């Protein structure tokens, strides 16, 4: 694992996002459109809001993540840029990990914009266990980025969308349940750690599997 090469690829991805600001703006606008549609579609009380907000946060994460992963590989296909990466003296695993880290950072920044806007739009107040909430978001986004970036490499657009949802469903269920426990505060807080352990196990397993397979997948 060449850390210098991984960071170089990640910086390249982040620089592209910085230069093409419309990409992340499109993701944020799309998320805001979803929130606005939901806010006008239902009469939402505070008690109901605590129940639906966890699922809504992860639904937004799914759709923004899909756009982020698909974009991270699609622009490399123009002018055979991806072939240039493969023939360069860079480890294939470094290309994958660099893109996965960049996707994670982009998704995290997007969530840090969208989630406060969601709370403001729905007038939802949450102050307890903020540190645990951030841990759940980070662990969930890391696993999502690892799997999503890997699938973007091995499949076309249609197959990517078909494979992604079944693959990440355990992670999303655990993330939604963890967030629900934090927001509702009806279950003991130690119930959260059972779901969080499941998310961490998911991240570790898929990180090892994807890192082990990536040389073969890109080589093919």
Domain ranges within the chain, ordered by starting residue: 3-218
CB 108 within 8 A of CB 141: yes
| 218 or 112, greater pLDDT | 112
Among residues of the chain, what percentage have pLDDT more than 90?
13
| Cα-Cα-Cα-Cα dihedral sign, residues 38, 27, 61, 157 | positive
Average of per-residue pLDDT across 51-79 = 76
Q: Residue 186: its pLDDT value, please?
A: 62
What's the average model confidence in pLDDT over 91-101? Answer: 85
The confidence score (pLDDT) of residue 3 equals: 78
Q: What is the mean pLDDT of residues 63-70?
A: 80
**Residue 45's pLDDT is what?**
63
Q: Which residue has the tokens 């729905």?
A: 122
More confident residue, 139 or 88: 139
**pTM recorded for the entire structure:** 0.85
pLDDT for the residue 218 = 67
**Residue 16: CB partners within 8 Å, gap ≥ 6?**
75
> Rounded CA gap, 46 and 123, in Å?
8
Average pLDDT over the chain, rounded to an integer = 79
Map residue 142 onto helix, strand or coil. helix
End-to-end Cα separation, the chain, in angstroms: 20
DSSP string, 45-109: -HHHHHHHHHHHHHHHHHHHHHHHHHHHHHGGGGGGHHHHHHHSSS-HHHHHHHHHHHHHHHHHH
Burial class of residue 156 in the structure, from the number of CB atoms within 10 Å of its CB (0-12 exposed, 13-18 middle, 19+ buried): exposed
The mean pLDDT of 30-41, rounded to a whole number, is 72
pLDDT tens figures, 165-180? 889 989 988 988 888 8
């Amino acid at each position: 694992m060449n850390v210098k090469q991984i960071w170089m690829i990640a910086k390249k991805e982040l620089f592209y996002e910085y230069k093409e600001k419309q990409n992340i703006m499109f993701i944020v606008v799309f998320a805001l459109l979803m929130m606005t549609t939901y806010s006008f579609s239902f009469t939402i009380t505070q008690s109901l809001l605590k129940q639906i907000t966890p699922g809504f946060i992860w639904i937004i994460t799914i759709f923004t993540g899909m756009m982020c992963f698909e974009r991270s590989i699609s622009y490399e296909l123009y002018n055979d840029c991806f072939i240039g990466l493969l023939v360069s003296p860079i480890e294939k695993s470094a290309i994958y990990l660099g893109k996965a880290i960049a996707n994670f950072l982009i998704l995290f920044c997007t969530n840090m914009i969208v989630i406060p806007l969601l709370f403001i739009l729905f007038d939802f107040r949450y102050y307890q266990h903020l540190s645990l909430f951030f841990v759940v978001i980070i662990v969930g986004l890391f696993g999502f980025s690892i799997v999503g970036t890997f699938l973007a490499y091995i499949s076309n657009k249609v197959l990517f969308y078909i494979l992604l949802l079944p693959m990440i469903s355990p992670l999303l269920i655990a993330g939604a349940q963890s967030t629900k426990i934090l927001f509702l505060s009806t279950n003991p807080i130690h119930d959260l750690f059972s779901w969080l352990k499941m998310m961490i196990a998911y991240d570790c397993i898929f990180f090892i599997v994807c890192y082990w397979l990536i040389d073969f997948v890109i080589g093919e």
